């Protein structure tokens, strides 16, 4: 099942609610005031809800009643829908687990892993066992983000001393990697991630954050081998 919510209060969900398969969604749908639409499965194994959903979204798009779309899915079939919505200037926010297909993630304006929305430290079970979902919540090493940060910084406009505005670089990163999230590396924000990833100096002043590659790592273009800038 895929839930899709246009950005006005409530949102909508499509599915065959006549059986018991989607019974688990009932409480969440009611508590979040999501409008439920019944789409019967005329044949087992067919994507009747997906097709109905695309038709509804396209109708709304052509009526110019949308500012954006929130799509909760890992299905690569919705990649073209996300692309088409963005072609019309709409923002598309995708939500799902890390198993979501890369093409769909990159087609969204922003893709957020639901693992990052869970509590940072879930309560342990009373019997002392590890809490459910622990495996899914494992974080990447901050070092893994270093290459992405360096690439975004390479096309930025640093000052004479090599300092770059972190907010501007963050926007470039998000544009190139819609699913980039500091929380995936166990960091609350980009500033903390840059600091923990290693290889960077951080400077905070007057509410702005700047960073640059560590001086020892920056070679002087006209200097001899091993000379630092």
Q: Which residues contact 88 (CB under 8 A, 6 or more apart)?
A: 61
Distance CA 37, CA 152 (A): 43
Which residue reads 């969440």 in tokens?
28
pLDDT score at 111? 95
Does residue 134 surpass a pLDDT of 60? no
Distance CA 24, CA 30 (A): 11
The answer to whether 168 and 151 are in contact (CB under 8 A) is no
How far are the Cα atoms of 113, 130, 196 from residue 179, in angstroms, in the given order?
A: 7, 27, 20
Residue 188, number of CB atoms within 10 A of its CB: 10
Say which range, 15-24, 28-37, 200-209, has the weakest mean pLDDT: 15-24
Q: Which residue has the higher pLDDT, 47 or 117?
A: 117
pTM more than 0.85: no
């Amino acid at each position: 099942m895929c839930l899709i919510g246009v950005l006005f209060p409530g949102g909508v969900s499509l599915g065959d609610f006549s059986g018991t398969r989607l019974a688990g969604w009932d409480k969440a749908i009611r508590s979040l005031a999501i409008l439920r639409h019944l789409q019967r499965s005329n044949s087992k194994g067919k994507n009747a809800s997906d097709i109905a959903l695309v038709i509804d979204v396209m109708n709304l798009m052509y009526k110019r009643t949308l500012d954006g779309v929130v799509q909760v899915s890992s299905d690569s079939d919705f990649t073209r829908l996300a692309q088409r919505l963005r072609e019309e200037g709409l923002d598309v926010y995708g939500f799902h687990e890390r198993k979501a297909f890369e093409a769909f993630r990159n087609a969204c304006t922003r893709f957020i892993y639901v693992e990052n929305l869970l509590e940072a430290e879930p309560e342990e079970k009373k019997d002392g066992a590890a809490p459910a979902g622990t495996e899914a919540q494992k974080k990447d090493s901050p070092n893994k983000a270093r290459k992405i940060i360096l690439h975004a910084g390479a096309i930025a406009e640093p000052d004479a001393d090599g300092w770059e505005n972190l907010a501007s670089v963050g926007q470039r990163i998000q544009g190139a990697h819609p699913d980039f999230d500091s929380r995936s590396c166990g960091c609350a924000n980009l500033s903390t991630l840059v600091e923990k990833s290693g290889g960077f100096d951080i400077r905070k002043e007057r509410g702005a954050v700047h960073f640059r590659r560590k001086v020892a790592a920056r070679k002087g273009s006209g200097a001899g081998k091993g000379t630092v800038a």
